[in-house]
Chains A and B, each alone.
Chain A
């Protein structure tokens, strides 16, 4: 009953470094999402994948890339981290546009 699992839980990067945030779900959902949460800004969509093999930009895609590796896994990559990308990142999955389930988040600090 893991639901949505995100790794790592915490990460500190130096400006210009790259990293990949991993997300996996075990609910057989078709759709997966990456959100970022900043104080006073709420949750904002970065990228989503409506089904295996497809990805689309959300509200704030600049500086990020994604890969839908298979039905279970959806990764988020920062190629050259910037301080503005300091945030809490949440992965979510859903089926049919309902029943969105979120992971516990990755807290990223870019110094």
Chain B
């Protein structure tokens, strides 16, 4: 059974204070690891897909990295508009569905 655990559950940062969110996973053959952003009252919004250990992807202040056991979402010099819940999910080689972690709620204060 695929499992995804995200930590911390909540993170408060000051504007400009860089940090990282963790996603640990176990999966029967990783097809892809996904990061999503979710704002209150909205559906998850796609950020990144990582496919193999060592892969990295960047978008503005966000950088996602992947190892064989975990993924990190690094946030550099965050702004208040980066406040949201960040979701991690994995897809296995059957490719039929995503298994999600519980999410990290990020709050960035000015």
Chain A residues within CB distance 8 Å of chain B: 4, 31, 33, 35, 40-45, 48, 50, 56, 58, 90, 92, 96-105
Chain B residues within CB distance 8 Å of chain A: 31-32, 34, 36, 41-46, 49, 87, 89, 91, 95-103
Instruction: Collect the chain A residues with CB atoms within 8 Å of residue B87's CB.
Output: 42-43
Q: Name 10 extra pairs, CB < 8 A, besides A33-B97, A45-B98, A58-B97.
A: A56-B96, A92-B98, A97-B95, A98-B31, A102-B43, A102-B44, A102-B45, A103-B43, A104-B42, A104-B43
Nearest CB in chain B: distance from A99 CB, A: 7
Contact B100 A42 (CB under 8 A): yes
Nearest CB in chain B: distance from A34 CB, A: 10
Contact A98 B101 (CB under 8 A): no
Contact B43 A90 (CB under 8 A): yes
- 22 pairs across A/B with beta carbons < 8 Å? A4-B43, A31-B96, A33-B98, A35-B100, A42-B102, A42-B103, A43-B44, A43-B89, A44-B100, A45-B97, A45-B98, A45-B99, A56-B96, A90-B43, A97-B31, A97-B32, A98-B32, A98-B91, A99-B49, A100-B98, A102-B45, A105-B42
Instruction: Collect the chain B residues with CB atoms within 8 Å of residue A40's CB.
Output: 102
Instruction: Collect the chain A residues with CB atoms within 8 Å of residue B98's CB.
Output: 33, 43, 45, 92, 100
Contact B102 A101 (CB under 8 A): no
Contact B96 A100 (CB under 8 A): no
Asked whether A100 and B46 contact (CB < 8 A) given A43-B87, A50-B96, A58-B97, the answer is yes
